[in-house]
Structure 1
Amino acid sequence: MTDSHDDYRHRRRPRSAFASRAEYLEHELQSMAPRRWRPNLPGRDYRFELEDWVPAMAATIGKIVMVAAIVAAFAGQLGLSDDFVIENVRYEMLIAALLFVVLVSGFLNPTSNLAGTHGPLIPLVPLIVASGGHPMALGLMIGALGFLLGISKGGSLLARLTGNGVCGGLLLYLGFIGISGQIESLFAWAESFDMAHLAFVVIIATILMYAYLEHVQMRWLAIPLGALLAGALSFAMGAPFEFTTEPGIPTLNPLYWWGEDSGWQLGLPSFHHFVAVAPFAVLAVAMWSPDFVGHRVFQQLNYPPKTDRVVMNMDDTMVTASARQVAGSLLGGGNISSSWGTYIVPAAIARRPIPAGAVLTGLLCVVAALWGYPMDLAVWQPVLSVALMVGVYVPLLEAGMQMTRKGKTTQSAAVVIFSSALVNPVFGWSLTVLLDNLGLIGCKERGRELGHMGRWIIPGVVFAVLCTVMAGIGMFPGVPALWESFRGL
């Protein structure tokens, strides 16, 4: 009997055996047999292809931007300098690349998506700090709760309870909100130096480029070509840009980062810090499920049949994200971990498995962190906005539309969009899963097949817990934070 990696080497065929490169890439996905939590080696268990550079570049750009946004949100509330933000982001990129991106997703578990950044939690950072929260306490709490959810297989359970209509609606909502936000950011950037027309030109050129790539079935090139097009057009039209981040190595001593007079200037957290961040940690981990579901479904929609072995494992990804969160927080980083969307979405479009691109992503993150200059280019507004639009948000819209074409899925999709717009995607997801599984909307036959636990007990408990947490910290529009009201009594 042969091992799985021997099966891969036996099954795969060279590029010359196929009529097109697309057929070859599909065959590679179907031939792979990843070894879970055991060594997976290039050449023996997977191969590197040109297409792997696409998600690697997109992930590196996204990583720089998202980590900078989170660290800057903390730094602004704590009165820390821009130099602190840059150094901590470079430090976080080294932690992510060397400890988890390459080691876990590249070699130990190729079905665990890369541990990225929790973007939806950024707007809550000021509230976390105002509530007496501590970055390390928050990170350790998220890591502990996420690890419990992962090892108990709670993530995959919630995925099974989430119907196609709910998934499709979430993808549509996230895609539309993301595109709208990037267009607004691009125009605000261009207006800041009285060249609003530049943003219009860049967006029109991007639309035409994306349409052409769709026509010639080379959409996987949208990120590098889009970033190059946006940067070249903006520079040619006179947009200001300069390199400011010089090469260097950030401080690698955790004692420096968690000193009382250095780094975060907060010292180590106390018990009351953990109490203060507890509701935010619960909400952060709850946000993982709809995010992870969307990433997994996007893979399934873009991969060919018979590729279940290489599709992202939600529970393993939660364990990896939790471990990365704990390690990063203990070492002094400010990142809040989640599934890496700017990696998995372009990788799915390019029809590439997780491990090869993960290794290249780790390499690019190390280069960007040490060299410094690529960080300036990645966060330049036209490059950033176009890369995110064509690499993440437009594909999410396409996938959402594809999932809501059949049956009664449009009912559930409409409700999840409606309720997400009212509060946030966590509220929209949890409420619509409950209504969908009860059979009040969507396919009524599906609800009858779930049993009492899947139909109303688990969705009802999840919805009640999340609503309690969100009401407590004041996330319902027009409703005062309940915990603040109790403090005043």
Structure 2
Amino acid sequence: MTQQNNGCYRSQRRPGKSFSSRTEYLEHELTIMNPKRWGINLPFRDYHFEMEDFVPALAATIGKIVMVAAVVGAFAAPMGLSSEFVIENVRFEMLIAALLFVILFSGIFNPNANLAGTHGPMIPMIPLIVASGGHPMALGIMVGIFGLFLSVTRGGSKLMVLTGEGVRGGLLIYLGAVGMISQVKALFTWAEGIGMGYVAFAVILSTVLIYALLARWQMRWLSIPLGSGLALLIALVMGAPFEFVTEPGIPNLNPAYWWGEETGWMMGMPDLSHFIAVAPFAVLAVAMWSPDFMGHRVFQELNYPEKAYKVLMNVDDTMAVASVRQMVGSGLGGGNLSSSWGTYMIPAAIAKRPIPAGAVLTGIFCVVAALWGYPMDLAVWPPVLRVALLVGVFLPLLEAGMQMTRDSKTSQSAGIVMFASAFVNPVFGWSFTMLLDNLGLIGDKERSQELRHTDRWIIPAITFVVMCVVMAAVGMLPGIPALVESFR
């Protein structure tokens, strides 16, 4: 069977010059691939590298540096740990991700599993986790355990199927709009802080123009390197201060150092109280995976041809990889919180490229950045960072959501999920609107009638109730004090 699959790909592959357009060639590559799930997939035998793979790999590397630094920094600040500690731990995390998971899992063993990235929506919760007596290792292990349970029971893919198109679209619009506004504000805050507000204006204006032109030319997959490069150039020419501070080197690779009493995190090993304190946050983190993973797969469905179903991201397998990566990374001493890697998947889907080739390049880029050091300074500089997130994540999210809400049925569900998300948060908005949509109270009533009794209200109702209990426990429901205080 393996030889048949390999021969099928090789026999059907044709050089790019034999197609009338680059898009036609890329779509042909997607349709002839037949990756082996939990098998051995090798470069040039089961897939090839294309120039389009370099862009999502570069975007993913920039996003990785940015997001892991944000997570580790959110832990470090209330603990009184230094910025040098943050950089060292980020470099360590990048090596863990690249060498142990990105290349091996997404590049070789399971090309249908997206790369295990960083759980950005949990960043605002981290100070509360620390205040509640949480421990980074305890949190990572609990997230991994709950994530594996959801993966084994195929809960992630089930929830994705039960989430109607209107709910998906509205969630993407909300996340895209909120993220876009936050990045613009953050860039202006930085620029005004150095007394150069006009730099932010020039950078944002140039970003809008380049993104519009790339969309016109159907080359949006180039938006991150071109947009970030142009932002870097404009900011430097206008006199914005920048300097390299991170020197080449190898981070400490000893887990005993990171989990020592007087070194690394300076917290020692976690005990039972730490696991109890982080349990509600771990449940919430895994619950937030489903809408996050769903949003990433949507980009493949929107940009890939219909016959390319074999290369679509497998939600359950991605959850399994993210869970194992979380437990291993936390056990070794890392502070990252795993999720599906959005800054890779979104530009890769737009570029019409499958997961494995770009995954291998991403792993190589992450190793180079971690050891070299200097690229980390560039990636976290505000003009580069904010523009990369704007054009690589939030604007595509907004566009994808708008494409999915073109009729009255889907727009109704989209409006409710956006309202509910603004009222509490996207987890509440997603679970609440999914329940209403499946019951037929809003959206497509014909779809509701076709659902089984269990899918129509039992699973959505249980999901909504569990989410509300967890959010009440950690203080995420407006007007309700955090119940997690009782664990302290």
Q: Shorter-chain TM-score category?
A: over 0.9
| Structure 1 residue 161: Cα displacement | 0.2
Q: Which residue of 2 aligns with 1:272?
A: 273
For 1:183 and 1:189, the matched residues in 2 are separated by 10
| Structure 1 residue 407: Cα displacement | 4.8
- 1:374 is the counterpart of 2:375: yes
The amino acid of 1:104's aligned partner reads F
Q: Which residue of 1 aligns with 2:132?
A: 131
For 1:483 and 1:42, the matched residues in 2 are separated by 48
| Structure 1 residue 338: Cα displacement | 0.3
TM-score (structure 2 length as normaliser): 0.99
- 1:62 is the counterpart of 2:63: yes
| Structure 1 residue 184: Cα displacement | 0.5
For 1:483 and 1:171, the matched residues in 2 are separated by 30
Query: Which digits, 9 at most, give the CA deviation of each residue in 1:342-387, with x for residues without a partner?
Result: 0000000100000000000000000000000000000010011111
For 1:277 and 1:267, the matched residues in 2 are separated by 16
In the alignment, is the contact (CA less than 8 A) between 2:132 and 2:484 conserved in 1? no
| Structure 1 residue 462: Cα displacement | 0.6
The amino acid of 1:339's aligned partner reads S
Query: Which digits, 9 at most, give the CA deviation of each residue in 1:40-72, with x for residues without a partner?
Result: 001110000000011001100000010000101
For 1:487 and 1:470, the matched residues in 2 are separated by 15
Q: Which residue of 2 aligns with 1:422?
A: 423
Q: Which residue of 2 aligns with 1:254?
A: 255
The amino acid of 2:156's aligned partner reads G
Q: Which residue of 1 aligns with 2:451?
A: 450
Q: Which residue of 1 aligns with 2:116?
A: 115
| Structure 1 residue 263: Cα displacement | 0.5
For 1:487 and 1:51, the matched residues in 2 are separated by 50
Q: Which residue of 2 aligns with 1:471?
A: 472
The amino acid of 2:265's aligned partner reads W
For 1:389 and 1:417, the matched residues in 2 are separated by 20
| Structure 1 residue 152: Cα displacement | 1.1
Give runs of ≥4 in structure 1 deviating > 2 Å: none
| Structure 1 residue 295: Cα displacement | 0.6
SS in 1 for 2:268: coil
In the alignment, is the contact (CA less than 8 A) between 2:180 and 2:390 conserved in 1? yes
Give the paired residue count.
487
Q: Which residue of 1 aligns with 2:175?
A: 174
SS in 1 for 2:97: helix
Q: Which residue of 2 aligns with 1:150?
A: 151
The amino acid of 2:272's aligned partner reads F
- 1:319 is the counterpart of 2:320: yes
The amino acid of 1:310's aligned partner reads V
In the alignment, is the contact (CA less than 8 A) between 1:5 and 1:34 conserved in 2? no
For 1:478 and 1:196, the matched residues in 2 are separated by 37
Query: Which digits, 9 at most, give the CA deviation of each residue in 1:417-461, with x for residues without a partner?
Result: 001111111000000000000000000111111111101000000
Q: Which residue of 1 aligns with 2:231?
A: 230
- 1:284 is the counterpart of 2:285: yes
Q: Which residue of 1 aligns with 2:209?
A: 208
In the alignment, is the contact (CA less than 8 A) between 2:97 and 2:325 conserved in 1? yes
The amino acid of 1:130's aligned partner reads A
For 2:211 and 2:73, the matched residues in 1 are separated by 32
For 2:474 and 2:438, the matched residues in 1 are separated by 28
The amino acid of 1:265's aligned partner reads M
For 1:388 and 1:472, the matched residues in 2 are separated by 31
| Structure 1 residue 305: Cα displacement | 1.6
Q: Which residue of 1 aligns with 2:241?
A: 240
The amino acid of 1:332's aligned partner reads G
**Distance change >3 Å, CA 381–CA 248, structure 1 → 2:** same
TM-score (structure 1 length as normaliser): 0.98
For 1:335 and 1:99, the matched residues in 2 are separated by 14
In the alignment, is the contact (CA less than 8 A) between 2:277 and 2:484 conserved in 1? no
Which ranges of structure 2 fall in alignment gaps of 5 or more residues? none
Q: Which residue of 2 aligns with 1:84?
A: 85
SS in 2 for 1:44: coil
**Distance change >3 Å, CA 23–CA 468, structure 1 → 2:** same
In the alignment, is the contact (CA less than 8 A) between 1:407 and 1:443 conserved in 2? no
Which ranges of structure 1 fall in alignment gaps of 5 or more residues? none
Q: Which residue of 2 aligns with 1:439?
A: 440
Q: Which residue of 1 aligns with 2:295?
A: 294
Q: Which residue of 2 aligns with 1:45?
A: 46
The amino acid of 1:399's aligned partner reads A
CA RMSD, 1 decimal: 1.0
Deviates more, 1:279-288 or 1:443-452: 443-452
Q: Which runs of structure 2 are paired with 1:383-394 in the superposition (5 Å)?
A: 383-394=384-395
| Structure 1 residue 388: Cα displacement | 0.9
Q: Which runs of structure 2 are paired with 1:340-419 in the superposition (5 Å)?
A: 340-419=341-420
The amino acid of 1:354's aligned partner reads I
The amino acid of 1:147's aligned partner reads L
For 2:4 and 2:72, the matched residues in 1 are separated by 44
Percent identity between the two aligned chains:
68
| Structure 1 residue 476: Cα displacement | 1.1
The amino acid of 2:455's aligned partner reads G
For 2:71 and 2:216, the matched residues in 1 are separated by 37
For 1:100 and 1:243, the matched residues in 2 are separated by 29
| Structure 1 residue 3: Cα displacement | 2.3
